[in-house]
Amino acid sequence: MHDTVVFKNKILPYFLLAPQLIITLVFFIWPAGQALYQSFLIEDAFGFSREFVWFENFVYLFQDPEYWNSMKVTFLFSAMVAVTAMGVALLLAAMADRVLKGAGTYKTLLIWPYAVAPVVAAVLWWLMFNPSIGILPYWMKFVGHYWNHYVNAGEAMTVVVIASAWKQISYNFIFFLAGMQAIPKSLIEAAAIDGASPFKRFWQIVFPLLSPTAFFLLVVNVVYAFFETFGVIHATTLGGPDNATRTLVYKVYEDGFVGLDLGSSAAQSVILMILVIALTVIQFRYVERKVQY
């Protein structure tokens, strides 16, 4: 750190920090505190009565099979989004890594979905998979499958996973490609001279060296699937059919804004905060150290 060279002014830094700190306090820390406080209260929807109930909201939540279902849905959803987005991105990055002609064009054509909003991605795929007029169900009929994500839970999940993973491929691709290009060429050349096939070189040299990147991306993708896919669900399945795609964030919104169950919504917020904190700690503790070699 710059321990020797600093400006002496004692007041100025507070002014410089003020805008950031005020916004942080008013719109981040205060509401988070409120969520924590409300999670210990039972309040009717109009705020006429409130009662301090300790952990009752949490106890109730953990006894609610719907909550566990939502938890299960979220973990399943996140795992599938991460695996799909990372798998496709890794494959494409492995292909693009050694390409000389047209590398720039390929890259441009692969990174633009990053700019598409999750909700927009969802609407695009919702049309593609539309059971009555969508092109994909139309093709599926030729092999005898009648697609209907309005009633079939697995199919609804497939659509939201594909829509969420689709726009995330770009991000993963950029990182995998950067990771691969950072691997010293001499390593690959040495293996080639020793007679390792391109396939073997990928699995035994490139892939292990990419594992820090992959771990970092795993955390990022899980965070994305957990917290940034509200729009995907809200624009398409609305958590259905039969709550099969109701993720935790969607449930907080539904219970808080639609159901007006303030205590339960606050308790769910607190649990989500603990999850984010855990994920952030993982990201900073384990990822940062391992990425550098």
Partner 1 sequence: MIENRPWLTAFRHLMLIFGIAVIGFPIWIALVAATHPSSAFFSGVMPLWFGEQGLNNFERVWNNDDRVLGVTVSASWMMWNSFIMAMVIAIGKITISLLSAYAIVYFRFPFRRTCFWMIFLTLMLPVEVRILPTYEVVARLGMLNSYAGLTIPLIASATATFLFRQFFLSIPSSLVEAARIDGAGPFKFFKDILLPLSVNNIAALFVILFIYGWNQYLWPLLITTDEDYYTIVMVIKRLMTAGEGNVPWNIIMTTTVLAMLPPVIVVILMQKFFVKGLIEQEK
Please work out the total of residues on this chain that contact partner 1, with binding judged by CB under 8 A. Answer: 102
- Part in contact with partner 1 (CB under 8 A); list of ranges 54-62, 65-73, 149-157, 271-279: 271-279
Between residues 80 and 249, which has the closer beta carbon with respect to partner 1?
A: 249
Task: Print the binding letters for residues 12-51 with partner 1: x by CB under 8 A, - otherwise.
Answer: xxx-xx-xxx-xxxxxxxxxx-xx--x-------------
SS3 labels along 125-184: HHHHCCCCCCHHHHHHHHCCCCCCCCCCHHHHHHHHHHHHHHHHHHHHHHHHHHHHHCCC
273-293 CB burial, b ≥16 within 10 A, e <16 = eebeeebeeebeeebeeeeee
Q: Are 265 and 255 in contact (CB under 8 A)?
A: yes
Is 159 a binding residue for partner 1 by CB under 8 A? The answer is no
Site for partner 1 in 114-143 (CB under 8 A): 114-121, 123-128, 130, 132-135, 138
Three-class SS of residue 237? coil
Rounded Cα distance, 125 and 239, in Å:
16
Q: How far apart are the first and last CA of the chain?
A: 22
Which one of residues 50, 91, 145, 211 is an interface residue with partner 1 (CB under 8 A)? 91
What is the nearest approach in angstroms of partner 1 to the Cβ of residue 113? Answer: 6
Is 234 a binding residue for partner 1 by CB under 8 A? The answer is yes
Is 259 a binding residue for partner 1 by CB under 8 A? The answer is no
- Part in contact with partner 1 (CB under 8 A); list of ranges 58-66, 69-77, 91-99, 142-150: 91-99
Which one of residues 41, 61, 160, 169 is an interface residue with partner 1 (CB under 8 A)? 169
| Closest C-alpha to 244, from 157, 118, 159, 162 | 157
Is 57 a binding residue for partner 1 by CB under 8 A? The answer is no
Is 192 a binding residue for partner 1 by CB under 8 A? The answer is yes
Is 9 a binding residue for partner 1 by CB under 8 A? The answer is yes
| Closest C-alpha to 150, from 134, 164, 172 | 134
What is the nearest approach in angstroms of partner 1 to the Cβ of residue 20? Answer: 4
